[in-house]
């Protein structure tokens, strides 16, 4: 069986921040901007915030969480 020799581009998806509504992209191969962020938060599994956040909202939530500890 012959396979194409060209490299396939990683799939990406367009997301809407669950907090502010900003549109941004996510590379499904795991090379997303959030992997490079120093701010890390556990992703909620229920409720309105159940998907990815944009960079600004992630940083704001991380700062707020840090301020309360």
pLDDT by 10s per residue, the chain, length 69: 555 555 555 567 888 988 899 998 887 676 777 778 877 666 655 555 557 888 898 888 888 888 876
Q: Is 39 exposed, middle or buried (0-12, 13-18, 19+ CB in 10 A)?
A: middle
How much is the pLDDT for 26? 81
Question: What's the first-to-final CA gap in the chain, in angstroms?
Answer: 58
How much is the pLDDT for 22? 93
How much is the pLDDT for 23? 92
Give the three-state DSSP class for 16. strand
Report how far residue 51's alpha carbon sits from residue 45's, in angstroms, rounded to the nearest whole number.
9
């Amino acid at each position: 069986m012959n396979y194409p020799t060209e490299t396939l581009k990683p799939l990406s998806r367009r997301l809407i921040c669950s907090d502010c509504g900003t549109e941004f992209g996510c590379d499904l191969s795991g090379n997303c901007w959030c992997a490079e962020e120093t701010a890390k938060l556990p992703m909620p599994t229920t409720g309105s915030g159940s998907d990815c956040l944009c960079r600004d909202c992630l940083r704001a939530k991380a700062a707020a969480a840090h301020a309360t500890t």
